[in-house]
Amino acid sequence: MQAVVVHGVGDPASIRVEEVADAVAEPGEVVVRLRAAALNHRDVYICRGQYAGLRYPTVLGADGAGTVAAAGAGVTHVRVGDAVIINPCLDWGDDQRVAAPTFRILGMPDNGTFAQLVTVPAANVLPMPAGLSIEEAAAIPLAGLTAYRALVSRGALQPGERVLIIGIGGGVATLALVLARGLGARVFVTSGGDAKLERAAGLGAERGFNYRTSDWVAAIRQATDGGPDLIIDGVGGATFEQALDVARPGGRLVSYGATTGNAPHLTVRRIFWKQLSVLGTTMGSSADFAAMLALFEGGHVRPVIDRAYPLAEAGAALARLERAEQFGKIVLRID
Ligand SMILES: NC(=O)c1ccc[n+]([C@@H]2O[C@H](COP(=O)([O-])OP(=O)(O)OC[C@H]3O[C@@H](n4cnc5c(N)ncnc54)[C@H](OP(=O)(O)O)[C@@H]3O)[C@@H](O)[C@H]2O)c1
């Protein structure tokens, strides 16, 4: 089969497709013939060597959708030919609060989805939601799960609440936007690009604020009548201090990432004086995944696709993600 394989630390743009042995299904496993996969920032971090537990060679990619190509002994809930979407959380375990110590994300150290075939535990394949294209289905799993758990399981979002999503160009951020709108929230966003703010407005964001060219903290406080109820943040250091500043007293901030690293300065007083709840989240349980997929069923809520590349152009796709040029999910088409 053809696959995008990481052999060591390098430039994501120079990654190539190569011929490797076909994936096979052991008892309790399924082989999925992938028709589309999607990129996440972790794929860039893995190429750059900035990720824990690196193992080489490994097929890159956490997100994918396709059809069941083979089912190992004991697999009963799917059959060869079924259209499926892959839950990239391996071994989350039974605790809804936190993943088990053996938890891993598909695509490092286990072989991932930037390939014609991938092997996954049978429990990690679910029927593809109706009403979505194959590219849209592939775009959902990792970012949709992260966004859903941030908004709902951790953020306890209520209809009508004001949500601020920081750095709307990111894959998780755009999924958080469509999910929050689907859940009846009022959504406000920040971005470094006015074109991205316009795209977000088209998806239902009430107001957008450019973090490069405006005093966005004051403007958001005014637009939200005292600050957002819930802030969803994956940017981290560059804007974390301002995020705590803009939060409404009694508000919640859910952190799922730190694209810009640690905060150089943090005013702890903002947290206790304003009675803030600062919550962390990573990926999600099988129950989170199923609840998230249900929101996409029927196609009323859809992920945003930035661009689709053929599998052979995975390097160019990763370079676009690393330059933060995307709005939404970058997808790979697999023949
Ligand atoms: N915890 C988890 O389970 C989990 C899951 C998925 C991702 N993550 C992490 O979450 C982060 C986001 O991932 P992603 O793939 O969705 O998006 P991403 O590609 O990392 O982009 C995030 C956005 O951050 C904004 N940004 C970049 N530099 C900035 C700066 N200096 N100041 C303010 N904003 C800036 C940009 O927004 P604009 O383009 O709008 O300007 C960019 O599009 C990553 O660090 C990733 O590793 C964590």
pLDDT in tens, 144-176: 999 999 999 999 999 999 999 999 988 899 999
* Token pair for 122: 């049978």
Ligand 1 neighbour 258 (Cβ under 6 A): yes
Ligand 1 neighbour 67 (Cβ under 6 A): no
Assign a CATH topology to domain 144-280: Rossmann fold (3.40.50)
The reported pLDDT for the residue numbered 157 is 98
Q: Find the Cα–Cα–Cα–Cα dihedral 329, 332, 333, 335, rounded to 10°.
A: -160
DSSP, residue by residue, 289-317: HHHHHHHHGGGSS-PPEEEEEEGGGHHHH
Decide: 71 and 80 in contact? Cβ < 8 Å. yes
pLDDT of 141 higher than 90:
yes
What whole-number percentage of the chain has pLDDT above 70? Answer: 100
pLDDT of 3 higher than 90:
yes
Tell me the pLDDT tens digit for each residue of 107-120.
999 999 999 999 99
Ligand 1 center–CA 164 separation, angstroms: 14
Ligand 1 center–CA 167 separation, angstroms: 6
Instruction: Compute the radius of gyration of the chain from its Cα atoms.
Output: 19
Ligand 1 center–CA 115 separation, angstroms: 25
Closest ligand 1 atom, residue 172 Cα:
16
Ligand 1 center–CA 262 separation, angstroms: 13
Distance of alpha carbon 304 from alpha carbon 98, whole angstroms: 28
The residue whose C-alpha atom lies closest to atom 45 belonging to ligand 1 is: 259
Assign a CATH topology to domain 2-140+303-333: Quinone Oxidoreductase; Chain A, domain 1 (3.90.180)
* Token pair for 308: 């689709």
Ligand 1 neighbour 210 (Cβ under 6 A): no
Distance of alpha carbon 96 from alpha carbon 265, whole angstroms: 32
Q: Taking residues 40-49, what's their average pLDDT? A: 97
Q: Choose which residue among 235, 246, 262 to substitute to test ligand 1 binding: the one with the highest number of ligand atoms within 8 A of its C-beta.
A: 235
The residue whose C-alpha atom lies closest to atom 25 belonging to ligand 1 is: 167
Ligand 1 neighbour 242 (Cβ under 6 A): no
Decide: 65 and 36 in contact? Cβ < 8 Å. yes
What whole-number percentage of the chain has pLDDT above 90? Answer: 97
Confidence band (pLDDT; 50, 70, 90) for 236?
A: very high
pTM: 0.96
User: Domain locations in the chain?
Assistant: 2-140+303-333, 144-280
The reported pLDDT for the residue numbered 235 is 96
pLDDT of 2 higher than 90:
yes
